[in-house]
Amino acid sequence: MSDRAALLKGIRVWLVFFVVCLVLSGATAFPLVHELRWTEEALRTLGAPERLPGLMEWIERVRDGLDTADAEHPFLLYGTDWLAFAHLVIAVAFLGPYRDPVRNVWVVEFGLIACAGVIPLALICGPVRGIPFWWSVIDMAFGVFGAIPLYLVRKKIKRLESLTEAAVPGAAVVPAQ
C-alpha cells in the first residue's frame, strides 16, 4: 500500500469513527425522556444512590424536569429534536472530506472550531442554566474528545496534500476509489 493510500485509509477510518459518534450523540437526543428513566433505573440497580448521591440527585432533578416538560409543555422538547437533527446534518457534511479530503479540509477545521466552542458554551451557559460544574466538565469532554480524531484527520490530510503536491506540483488530489 502506498503512503498516499495508507493516509487516505487512515483519514477515512477516523472520519467514519467521528461520524458514527456524532450520529449516536444526536440520535440519543430524540428519546430523552425514556433514556433518562432507563438511566435512573439502571443507576438505582447499581447502587448509585448510596455511592453517588450527588449524581442521583441531579439525574432525579433532570428526569423530573423532563417528565414535567413532556406532560405539560411537550413543545419544549422540540428543541432537543432540533439538536439531534443538527448532529445528523453536521455528520452528513463529513462526507465531503471522506470523498476528497484535501479539497474539503475546511469541514474538518470547522469541526475543530465547533469542538473548541463547546468549552466556552458550557462554561458560560452552564452556570446561567443552573448546571452543576461537574456536568459542564462532562459536556466539555465531548468537545475535547471530538477534537482528537479531527486533529488527527487534519494532520493526515495535510500530509496527503504535501505528498500529492510533491508528486505533481499544482495537481488536484483525486481520491482513490
- Per run of 10 residues, the mean pLDDT along the chain (length 177 residues) is 93 98 95 94 96 94 96 96 96 98 98 98 97 96 97 98 78 57
- Short-list 103, 99, 101, CA closest to 150: 101
pLDDT in tens, 47-70: 999 999 999 999 999 999 999 999
CB atoms under 10 Å from CB of 48, counted, come to 17
Rounded to two decimals, the pTM is: 0.86
CB atoms under 10 Å from CB of 74, counted, come to 10
